[in-house]
Amino acid sequence: MAVPLEERFIAQLDHHTSQLIKIIRAKGGATHQKTADIMTILDQDLDDAQGDLEQQTIAVFVIRRGGGGAQEPPEDVGIVIEGVTVLHELSSVASACALLLGLIYVLNLAYPKPLRFSFEVLQKIIMQLEQQKMSPKVQNLCVRL
């Protein structure tokens, strides 16, 4: 049975976003540091970002015009797998994330180890797929949501 990836992803993301933000902001330690590290990427120069993307196993990228803030529409949104841009000019980050999950499934790729819990949350909580097989960490987050 086909799952409407983008519609489900956006609906579930809308449903869980405010509570996820509260949980992340309340965290300290390693989770807080990882979140801060992600935010520094937003200010990265295009040339630096291009080199970093070539080193990525799996990534969603957003390119904004120089000086454009996070509220400005992106110039490009795309997906990188094994350092190669496989999709670009996508309509939104949410669309890119939903398509990335589809690509991972279709290409039978393993989740990158450092991101396995993030992808498990996307798959099992946001997309509601294989919910009966959650890891203890993801199950704990699901209960808190």
For 70-124, write each residue's pLDDT tens digit: 667 788 899 999 888 999 999 888 889 889 988 998 899 998 888 899 889 988 9
Highest mean pLDDT among 28-37, 38-47, 91-100: 91-100
Which residues contact residue 103 at a Cβ distance below 8 angstroms, ignoring those fewer than 6 apart? 79, 81, 86, 87, 109
Higher pLDDT residue, 39 or 123? 123
Neighbours of 68 (CB within 10 A): 12
Asked whether residue 3 carries a pLDDT value surpassing 90, the answer given is: no
How many other CB atoms sit within 10 Å of the CB of residue 9?
22
Burial (CB count <10 Å: 0-12, 13-18, 19+), residue 78 = buried
DSSP-assigned letter for residue 126: I
Split at pLDDT 50, 70, 90, the class of 59 is confident
SS3 state at 88 = coil
> What is the structure's pLDDT at 134?
92
Q: Look at residue 68 in the predicted model and tell me its pLDDT.
A: 60
**pLDDT recorded at residue 12:** 84
Q: What per-residue string of b and e applies to 31-55 under the rule 16 or more CB within 10 Å gives b?
A: eeeeeeeeeeeeeeeeeeeeeeeee
